[in-house]
Structure 1
């Protein structure tokens, strides 16, 4: 009997591809459950997976007939001698969306394997449906990831209408005012590298919002996630704080490390979301410079820190030198000045915070004035020193 070897090829019918890896999975699962010898043939009748690896790549004439006629092909001992690439058994069409995309074959005495035929055929088609649904979910998630990447990069070369249309295909209304949220974690050995864990985390984050389908959530770097949401934090402050804290807790527990969350301004159009994202990144820098503050920051919560973050290096050095002089060389006095300013120039409160006597604090304030050339008990000069202290931490 002639055995013909033909190069394996993948044929796409409708939107489902019967690939080698998918066929291998079908053979493995069905053989585990039935202990029968299995073959999977593509739409051209080529064996693309088999429990007998020697048969892979062979043209199976029985499968070709099953595809052509759309019915089961039973191959007896007598028939298989006359057909190319076959062995006794049963070959059944694999259907997807009412189209034959391949064949599943069971090798053995037809009388013995035929009772298993329909069960194997049904199980194979169910596995195809599951694989298709998984692929569709994966494709949508990839489309959402790409959309987030383009939005935060400001890459809208085809115009706002095209971006809105991409959102509509995903069920996301990008005509609504939106803001960019950034979640950042510290470096951690524990990573969410597997696709299923990543998808699960994205779903859990999205489900924290009132309208999960309107949420675009994507992991854009190893330790960074971006959320694009229509939620208005200033309108419902309590809900915003609840959701943001739950997100931080979820990420922190999953990654076993600290998580920061920052929120840029809400912008009227999708074409300005990259601005909101950049603001969230600026807030992230501030958040990590001032860890004693809340680990969630919204653009509208900050003023002075934002202005200081925009100061360039040379101007920053000038302001620090003019306002503090040599004071940074005296850590104890820097701590005293910071406490005094945080207590709104109240001597009693500052002394209590520092756990020192009032006279000790007064002595230190005099020393601060002497070294810096500015009087911390003078409001205008104290304001300048406060800005300088912020700039010191932003070096």
Structure 2
């Protein structure tokens, strides 16, 4: 029997996390009688007087937002990390089986737009560029005094977003978190063995292949990664060696804004809903105890993890085998990329429906 990746179960290896993913493309033929999530409300007002993030409104802690007219950032009122704490230390008990570490950090909120109803794909490219510039500025500032700067967005109630006003977050920590630590180790090992960044070689391989490419411009590439776990997961990569956001040129920042608008529009058009996801940037860390100062093995990249599988109301659940065995997906990365490529990147479904 000849192997067909679109029909036969197989495993794919993720070199960043050094983990395997089970791909079961034949399972898409099964009927679905499980959980149906409510779709996102597609109509919101431009301004909501009850929203904690809209311009001029009072937040939950009593602070009043300025009447901002563009991208706006502030310190998180309910931060997961605090700037002050006990002296750095390791607390261990139970023969080392119960260990804790004291940590500090800073958490910020980024309102992408003053408008309550505009997500990134519906914003103008110039306004998305303001978000990109803010990401770059805050990374460059925070990495000077923190080991890790995590820029991310949880979009949609199904991803746990507690406020519908389009926004993202930045958490800067005194330590290197578990997943970035593994990503650092994998890239470092590849660099020592090959003398090139792992993800730059991967980007070039994807450019040569093309079957998983969703969007491409002069400076950036968006693919459904070969080892994707989430149904319509994507990986955003620069085409040259860039270690972090601070190294992007003015042209690369503008190209980034442009490609974000295009492929996020494809996301929304897939099921004609405000497509939920969690996304985040991975980039070179700051000073980390136990690591040398070399960051040349790092390649800037962003992950997008959307949960929707079959429609705006059916999501992928990570349960059972995924929790106890290893990750599993029901459509191949090539099938997902092809479906996204077939969608318009220039006309958002809400404009079309109008």
- TM-score in same-fold range (> 0.5): no
The structure number with the bigger radius of gyration is 1
Q: Which has the higher contact order (CA 8 A, sep 6+)?
A: 2
Q: Which one has the bigger helix percentage?
A: 1
